[in-house]
């Protein structure tokens, strides 16, 4: 019986292997392109609409002061409010700051300069002078109070990050050496790069050192000029003198540029290190102010 079983099994395997599958009808050639196109159309991506770039106005937006709900204060009243925010703060770390908002074009020229305030905010400046080492100029600068003098030694200290000075002056004889040193990337962001426009490249180093004591640098940024205008211990009269000096300087610079582009002062705002900004109305003291200027003098 065994041989018969083997024969039946082999015949069954042979019949299964030879079983034919049902024939699939061939696709006509004239239908093939349309089938391919339909498949391609199913993967086509529809791009969304591109957003239009926001066009900025040509000038900085300034609100109309007479139509706003925020009042303007006299200088004495503004000091009374700001000093209340600084109660308990270390007097040496608190400074008054002025913000002069301008009506000006976004792409127009900016104003920048230095000013010697009647009542300096910072009295002890650390000044370095770039000049030939061991020369009479270096000796005179050291005698006038310069903290560091020289050329290559000072350049190397700057490259290593040893910048222990607040102002950097350069004698005109060392201007080419400064240019070859390539320190603009280090000194530029810190506002220390000497230039003829800022009068930090000079012939008379001693005179520049004396003029730099108490002077302040400022530069227009985003349509406003911001700088420290006084210390907490300054009296209202001292702050008034400083504010009048910087406002007059900015007005004169705006007048020089107004022939080519429109530029004028829109608003003057006073603030402190931890206090808010208060818009000034240009008056020293209003008649309804209850506090006397003498009460606003000195540290708290």
Residue 111 confidence (pLDDT) above 80:
yes
C-alpha dist (Å) from residue 112 to 20, 115, 196, 225, 253: 94, 10, 13, 9, 9
Q: What is the pLDDT of residue 15?
A: 57
Q: What is the pLDDT of residue 270?
A: 96
Report the C-alpha gap between 116 and 137 in whole angstroms. Answer: 24
pLDDT tens digit string along 68-82? Answer: 777 899 999 999 999
Residue 214 confidence (pLDDT) above 70:
no
Task: Tell me which range, 71-75, 197-201, 287-291, is most confidently predicted by mean pLDDT.
Answer: 71-75
Packed helices 136-143 and 205-212: angle between N→C axes, nearest 10 degrees: 20
Q: What is the pLDDT of residue 144?
A: 83
Instruction: Identify which has the larger pLDDT, 158 or 123.
Output: 158
Q: What is the pLDDT of residue 17?
A: 53
Task: Tell me which range, 95-109, 124-138, 199-213, is most confidently predicted by mean pLDDT.
Answer: 95-109
Domain 63-122+216-300 class?
A: alpha beta
Residue 125 confidence (pLDDT) above 80:
no
Q: Averaged over 278-295, what is the pLDDT?
A: 86
For the residues of 284-298, what is the DSSP string, one character each?
A: S--TT--S-GGGG-S
Residue 231 confidence (pLDDT) above 70:
yes
* Longest CA span, the chain: 133
pLDDT tens digit string along 8-62? Answer: 556 656 555 555 555 556 556 555 555 454 444 455 565 656 666 777 778 888 8
Report the C-alpha gap between 34 and 40 in whole angstroms. Answer: 10
Q: Averaged over 231-249, what is the pLDDT?
A: 92
* Both tokens assigned to 258: 């107004």
pLDDT class of 239 with cuts at 50, 70, 90: very high
Task: Tell me which range, 63-77, 101-115, 210-224, 242-256, is most confidently predicted by mean pLDDT.
Answer: 242-256
161: left (phi over 0), alpha (psi -120 to 50) or beta: left
Place of tokens 């008649």: 287
Count CB-CB contacts under 10 A for residue 244.
12
C-alpha dist (Å) from residue 153 to 105, 128, 129, 130, 244: 43, 12, 11, 10, 42
pTM for the whole structure:
0.64
Go through the chain and tell me how many residues it has. 300
Residue 212 confidence (pLDDT) above 90:
no
Residue spans of the domains in the chain: they are: 63-122+216-300, 124-213
Instruction: Identify which has the larger pLDDT, 114 or 27.
Output: 114
Contact 167, 200 (CB under 8 A): yes
**Of 3.30.200.20, 3.40.50.1000, 3.40.50.790, 3.40.50.10470, which CATH number belongs to 124-213?**
3.40.50.790
């Amino acid at each position: 019986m065994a041989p018969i079983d083997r024969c039946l099994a082999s015949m069954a395997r042979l019949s299964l292997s030879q079983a034919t599958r049902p024939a699939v009808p061939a696709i006509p050639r004239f239908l093939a392109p349309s089938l391919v196109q339909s498949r391609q159309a199913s993967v086509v991506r529809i791009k969304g609409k591109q957003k239009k770039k926001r066009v900025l106005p040509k000038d900085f937006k300034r609100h109309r002061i007479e139509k706003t709900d925020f009042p303007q204060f006299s200088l004495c009243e503004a000091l009374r409010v700001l000093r209340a925010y600084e109660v308990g703060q270390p007097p040496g770390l608190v400074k008054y700051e002025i913000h002069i908002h301008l009506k000006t074009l976004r792409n127009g020229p900016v104003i920048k300069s230095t000013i010697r305030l009647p009542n300096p905010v910072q009295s002890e400046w650390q000044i370095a002078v770039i000049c030939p080492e061991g020369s009479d100029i270096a000796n005179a600068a050291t005698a006038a109070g310069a903290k560091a003098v020289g050329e290559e030694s000072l350049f190397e200290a700057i490259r290593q990050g040893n910048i222990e000075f607040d102002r950097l002056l350069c004698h005109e004889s060392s201007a080419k050496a400064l240019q070859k040193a390539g320190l603009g990337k280090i000194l530029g962001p810190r506002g220390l790069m000497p230039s003829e426009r800022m009068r930090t490249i000079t012939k008379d180093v001693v005179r520049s050192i004396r003029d730099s004591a108490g002077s302040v640098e400022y530069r227009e940024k985003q349509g406003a000029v911001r700088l420290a205008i006084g210390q907490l211990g300054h009296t209202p009269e001292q702050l008034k003198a400083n504010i009048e000096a910087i406002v007059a300087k900015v007005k004169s610079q705006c007048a020089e540029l107004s022939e080519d582009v429109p530029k004028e002062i829109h608003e003057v705002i006073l603030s402190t290190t931890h206090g808010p900004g208060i818009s000034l109305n240009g008056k020293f003291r209003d008649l309804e102010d209850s506090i006397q200027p003498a009460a606003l003098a000195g540290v708290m």
